[in-house]
Amino acid sequence: MGKRAVTGTGVVAGGIQRSFGNAAAIRNMDFTAPAGEVTALIGPNGSGKTTLLLILASLLAPDAGSVRINGFDPLVDPRRVRAGIGWMPDTLGTWGSLTAREILVTVGGLYGMERSLAGQRAAELLETVHLTDFADKPARVFSRGQQQRLSLARALIHDPSVLLLDEPASGLDPGSRVDLRVLLRRLAAEGKTVVVSSHVLSELDEMVDRAVFVARGETVKTQSLADADAQERWYAIRSLNTGSLLRQVDERGIPYRQQGGAARPEVQVRLAGDAAAAELLRSLVLADVAVTAFAPAGGALEETYMSLDADRG
């Protein structure tokens, strides 16, 4: 699907600081999320991710720094900013006695939507998140995964141009995670700005265009997915003859480590991106090494995260 004209200029934040009493939640963060792309916000617990998202959502004011949402300052024009933002917190936090349909229609009304339009939009979104059969059940009986899907629908009810999603995949089953990935890619293709905070780094590789890594209240790296894919990383190889595989790897002077047990031996090699991996695989096949599996040992963004963590250690 080709990208349509973007609906906004995205999110730009610079020099953000925020403390709670004597505790500095954010020391210095810069964050940019362009329209038409999915941007991941990645960092360990306590790194300031949720605080930053609350600031971007205009629900918390920074102590210092500037924020622009589609060119507007949340401190100066919060109503205009909030009208264009879809906010999905890490917990649903809604009215348990209301049905899923009632919740969506009510939230639509808070955004100024006519009731008939809000009802139509609610029905569409309930189908999108596979909750049509639960549309008239109270939210208090929903499972964690169902609550997450309802929370996503709630964030989308007013067709915002900017989506801020805090751990949207939490509690979702594998099928729902695939649906989430497809939906977010479609929304980005429509020109929306999508920001995702997540601990499930392996899934982000297939979802995002770029990532901003934060730690201890600071931005430590910004990386496109293309750059992440091209970096040096571990690749896992299995062969019918591990000895032959090891000889070929050793002859080429490639760093390696052995993983797995006797029943499922695996050799992991350190290579400079997919081009180097393709060349090694070609060489192994030409050398008659019976390769049964060859793939990255982990996600590209996970590799970056682990390397940054090692550098901090």
Kindly indicate the confidence band of residue 310, based on its pLDDT and cuts at 50, 70 and 90: low
Kindly indicate the confidence band of residue 299, based on its pLDDT and cuts at 50, 70 and 90: confident
Please check whether residue 102 lies inside any domain of the structure: yes
Tell me the mean pLDDT in the region 245-265: 89
For residues 32 and 222, is the Cβ–Cβ distance under 8 A? Answer: yes
Length of the chain: 313
For residues 33 and 52, is the Cβ–Cβ distance under 8 A? Answer: no
Query: Which of the listed residues 225, 242, 258 is the one where a domain comes to its end?
Result: 225
Any idea what DSSP says for residue 137? S
Cα-based angle 304, 305, 311 (whole degrees, multiple of 5):
90
Tens digit of pLDDT for each residue in 39-87?
999 998 889 999 999 999 999 999 999 999 999 999 999 999 999 999 9
For residues 160 and 70, is the Cβ–Cβ distance under 8 A? Answer: no
Across 14-45, b (16+ Cβ under 10 Å) vs e yields eebbbeeeeebbbeebebbbbbbbbbbbbbee
Cα–Cα distances in Å, from 88 out to 151, 156, 164, 193, 246? 6, 9, 6, 14, 48
Q: What is the pLDDT of residue 6?
A: 38
Q: Among 165, 162, 160, which residue's Cα sits nearest to residue 149?
A: 165
Q: How does strand 256-259 pair with strand 64-69?
A: unpaired
Q: Are residues 218 and 295 in the same domain?
A: no
Q: Are residues 181 and 103 in the same domain?
A: yes
Query: Which of the listed residues 225, 242, 263 is the one where a domain comes to its end?
Result: 225
Contacting residues for 131 by C-beta, under 8 A, at least 6 apart:
100, 146, 149, 150, 153
Q: Among 19, 6, 24, 34, which residue's Cα sits nearest to residue 222?
A: 34
SS (H, E, C) 196-222: EECCCHHHHCCCCCEEEEEECCEEEEE
Cα-based angle 257, 260, 263 (whole degrees, multiple of 5):
135
User: Whole-number mean pLDDT of the chain?
Assistant: 91
Q: Are residues 149 and 248 in the same domain?
A: no
**Strand partners for 212:** 41, 222
Q: How far apart are CA 266 and CA 48, in angstroms?
A: 37
Query: Which of the listed residues 193, 225, 257 is the one where a domain comes to its end?
Result: 225
pLDDT > 50? residue 98: yes
**Strand partners for 63:** none
CATH number at residue 297: 3.30.70.240
Q: What is the pLDDT of residue 8?
A: 54
pLDDT > 80? residue 29: yes
Query: How many folded domains does the chain comprise?
Result: 2
Q: What is the pLDDT of residue 311?
A: 56
Tell me the mean pLDDT in the region 277-282: 95
Domain extent at residue 216: 11-225
Q: Are residues 82 and 177 in the same domain?
A: yes
Kindly indicate the confidence band of residue 312, based on its pLDDT and cuts at 50, 70 and 90: low
Q: Are residues 192 and 269 in the same domain?
A: no
Token look-up 């024009």 returns 77
Q: Are residues 241 and 263 in the same domain?
A: yes
pLDDT > 60? residue 7: no
E strand or H helix that includes residue 76: none
CATH number at residue 60: 3.40.50.300
Token look-up 């091209």 returns 230
For residues 192 and 161, is the Cβ–Cβ distance under 8 A? Answer: yes
Q: Are residues 118 and 52 in the same domain?
A: yes
Q: How far apart are CA 127 and CA 109, in angstroms?
A: 20
First to last CA, the chain: 42
Q: Are residues 203 and 56 in the same domain?
A: yes
